[in-house]
Homo-oligomer: A and B are copies of this chain.
Amino acid sequence: MSEIRFLAQACCDAVPAMAGLDTDTKAALLRDMAAALEARSADVLAANAQDMAQAAAKGVQGAMLDRLRLDEARVAAIANALREVAELPDPVGQVTRRETRPNGLAVERVRIPLGVVAMIYEARPNVTADAAALCLKAGNAVILRGGSEAIHSNTAIAAALHDALRAHGLPTAAVTLMEDLRREAMVELLQLTDLVDLAIPRGGEGLIRFVAEHARVPVIKHYKGVCHLYVDRAADLDLALDLLVDGKTSRPGVCNALETLLVHRDVAVDFLQRAALTLRERGVELRGDARTCELVPDAKPAIEDDYAAEFLDLILAVRTVDSLDEAIAHIRRYGSDHTEVIATRNEAAAQHFVQAMRSAVVMVNASSRFSDGGELGLGAEIGISTTRLHAYGPMGAEALTIERFVVRGEGQVRHAQSRVR
């Protein structure tokens, strides 16, 4: 048995113990993990200092380095996130449907854990704790494969989580951190279809494509968020401007930031000139089609690639459209199925837009920045899916479960001739 299969087998063997935990025990375990993390804070910070030194020696700088960095406040934030997950409702055991069939069979749909979840991620060490917590909340075991740049931090955090597992008499393999970070090892893990139920990659598009291409186990992912705001002819333009500024500037580096603005021609003169002024003050570069560039002299001409781009920066692609349907056609062509927004006071236009969109999240008169598990009421988020299967949009603990059938009878048989009595 290879080392990777051995690890995955141990994690799989931990599934029944984790799946069988009751709600209170899981909550206590997660709170104890938070406490263990705080108790090991000095170890975690020392490990993180090693990672930081290594990264600095490799020339990593700026935002990349900041994502890797831990300090006491960030460790406390990770511990608090564990405590928040502890308080969330437990999806396991929820009865989602209940029906009595004409023959008296009581048929229920009941949530059970998925089993073994493999998280593949980069840089941010907090994912080690966050992902483990949500997986455990849903009664799963988890294999964590973080990036080499954070290996010391991740190992120290996992050690704290293991302290709590041990204190509860649970197998530490329920939270398995892969230390072999070779790509071949990851590929081997992603092909263990008999042991791993789901892989969730989180990170840059390159990592996600690598996972999708090499996995034989199911993968839930999103590559990018090319989110659109369509300002309808019937939009409240003040409201639309708020959505635009929030969507583009409140945190441009995240997947639910706006990347493209579509404006109906009837309101283009008014809206684009006001928007240009406001966005210019906030340092946003506009890249527009010909009509937009006429109205906004300092906009640069957009090339086609701009409409498919996830800029993750203070850049906005803009297009003036002749109709709602032209906006819909644009989003169908260039969109990433993540989040789309319409600003309109016309209910029929809103309904038509919602119905025509196939994206995971569709907003009417609200900022794309709300496309987030916490904001949409899931409590916490393990990722966002644009895979049109199982979970679509922000994924919380419930997305780490599956509904199965539990049927209770009194000796019903399907063929009367089978009856011996």
Measured CB to CB, the residues of A under 8 A from B are: 15-16, 19-20, 99, 101, 105, 107, 112, 114-115, 193, 197-198, 212-213, 216, 218, 236, 238-239, 241-243, 245-246, 249-251, 278, 332, 350, 354-356, 358-367, 369-371, 375-377, 387-390, 392-394, 402-415, 417-421
Contacts and interface: CB of A to CB of B under 8 A. Distances in A.
Given A360-B404, A364-B408, 7 more contacts: A198-B389, A213-B216, A242-B411, A363-B409, A365-B409, A389-B390, A393-B405
A407 B86 CA distance: 27
A403 to B, nearest CB: 6
Contacts of A193: 212
A96 B370 CA distance: 20
A420 B389 contact: no
A19 B15 CA distance: 39
B250 A404 contact: no
A369 B389 CA distance: 28
Contacts of A364: 406-409
14 contacts: A99-B377, A107-B376, A238-B411, A242-B419, A245-B419, A250-B413, A360-B404, A360-B405, A363-B407, A363-B408, A364-B409, A389-B389, A389-B402, A392-B404
A229 to B, nearest CB: 12
A105 B371 CA distance: 11
Given A107-B377, A414-B370, A388 B250 contact: no
B413 A361 contact: no
Nearest to A15: B358
Given A101-B377, A250-B417, A363-B407, A115 B388 contact: yes
A369 B19 contact: no
A362 B407 CA distance: 6
Q: Which of A105, A218, A355, A404 has the most C-beta atoms of chain B within 10 angstroms of its own C-beta? A: A404
Q: Which of A19, A115, A405 has the most C-beta atoms of chain B within 10 angstroms of its own C-beta? A: A405
Contacts of A251: 415
Nearest to A343: B411
Contacts of A241: 420-421
Nearest to A398: B97
A235 to B, nearest CB: 10
A27 B301 CA distance: 48
A403 B391 CA distance: 7
A105 B407 contact: no
Contacts of A198: 388-389
A116 to B, nearest CB: 9
B366 A20 contact: no
A420 B107 CA distance: 53
Nearest to A282: B418
Q: Which of A250, A393, A418 has the most C-beta atoms of chain B within 10 angstroms of its own C-beta? A: A418
Contact of A238 (B402, B405, B420): B420
